Amino acid sequence: MAQGLLLVISGPSGVGKGTICKALRERNHEIVYSISATTRLPRPGEVDGVSYYFLSPQEFLEALEKGDFLEWAQVYGNYYGTPAWFVEEQLAVGRNVILEIDMQGAMKVKQTYPHGVFIFVLPPSQEELARRLIGRCTDAKDVIAKRLAAWKEEMKTIDNYDYAVVNDEVELAVKKIEAIIEAERCRVARRNRD
């Protein structure tokens, strides 16, 4: 059985990473979504153990001390981390795993798992990104302003990724990522590693 692919998907807040990952999983049932742990409060409709593992700061730091995370980061005042056990278990049985994480976390994963497939999702423009952040109605104006201010710095990290996908239309972005997965499965170097 071939090892699964670790797909690391990052991009600016509001670019549509979650929407893309959801559509990708709906079309490809062999892809498993890695649920992150976070100390931020749940947004409306989010469910513990489904959307995220919602932890108190103390619970998160205790898990961190035990080495329970593949990567972790502090973003906008909250901790986020990827439970290592789940990812390793799924890859070992040949399932593809998606990590939808910020750029800091992606670079930590790249250090420990360089054979991952790193995909940066871009907005069509900064104006469209602002429209999406405002339109989702989940953040206060000051949070939106911080996220837009961070956009230019986040864009500087794109060279650390294997692929860049513009999310101008979700269906097209999903098709591009499916093509990336197929291309990665055909890589000679990857076939020799498995």
Q: Residue 38: its pLDDT value, please?
A: 96
Q: What is the pLDDT of residues 167-188, one digit of tens each?
A: 989 999 999 999 999 999 888 8
Per-residue confidence band for 7, with pLDDT thresholds at 50, 70 and 90: very high
**147-158 tens-digit pLDDT:** 666 777 888 889
Least trusted range by pLDDT, from 72-86, 106-120, 167-181: 72-86
pTM of the model: 0.79
The domain of 144 spans 6-193
Question: Is it the case that residue 137 has pLDDT exceeding 80?
Answer: no
Note the pLDDT of residue 2.
81
- Residue 92's pLDDT band, with cuts at 50, 70 and 90, is very high
What's the CA gap between 132 and 136, in Å, rounded?
A: 6
Find the mean pLDDT for residues 55-74: 94
109 contacts: CB under 8 Å, gap ≥ 6: 6, 8, 70, 71, 82, 99, 101, 116
Q: What is the mean pLDDT of residues 125-152?
A: 68
pLDDT bracket for residue 124 (50, 70, 90): confident
In this structure, is residue 1 part of a structural domain? no
CATH code, 87 = 3.40.50.300
Question: Has residue 150 been placed in a domain?
Answer: yes
The pLDDT value given to residue 12 = 83
Residue 60 placed within a domain: yes
Residue 139 belongs to a domain: yes
Buried residues in 96-133 as b, exposed as e (16+ CB within 10 A): bbbbbbbbbbbbbbbeebeebbbbbbbbeeeeebbebb
Number of domains in the chain: 1
